[in-house]
Amino acid sequence: AFVGGSLVERGGHNPLEAAAHAIPVLMGPHTFNFKDICARLDQASGLITITDAATLAKEVSSLLTDADYRNFYGRHAVEVLYQNQGALQRLLQLLEPYLPPKTH
């Protein structure tokens, strides 16, 4: 899935939607809206960074014709998602001692 808004300085859209379905994620260099998750995807080989329309076409062609390549990137993308599940709950647990008591 090519994530729009990332070839131009718009910062890109959410890459996790594609990752959640084990679909390879392709993005341009402008990923500042999702900087942290894009860095994690990139480090885990779950993100294919493209620079222009020509590299986008080349990568899409490779993904369509090479199932191993497609599965590799899709699998790594969804693994990043799984590794980060529950992040909000963990954050709330860390903050709980500093929050006012819950009232019903």
Q: Average of pLDDT values for 60-71?
A: 98
Distance CA 2, CA 50 (A): 9
Give a yes or no: residue 75 inside a domain: yes
The span from the CA of 85 to the CA of 100, in Å, is 26
Tally the domains of the chain: 1
Of residues 64, 84, 51, 83, the one with CA closest to residue 1: 64
Residue 41 domain-assigned (yes or no)? yes
What six digits make up the tokens of 9?
């300085």
Q: Residue 88's pLDDT is what?
A: 66
21-53 tens-digit pLDDT: 999 999 999 999 999 999 999 999 999 999 999
Terminal alpha carbon distance of the chain: 44
Q: Are 75 and 41 in contact (CB under 8 A)?
A: no
Domain that holds residue 26: 16-98
Q: Looking at the domain assignment, is residue 7 inside a domain? A: no
What does pTM read for this prediction? 0.80
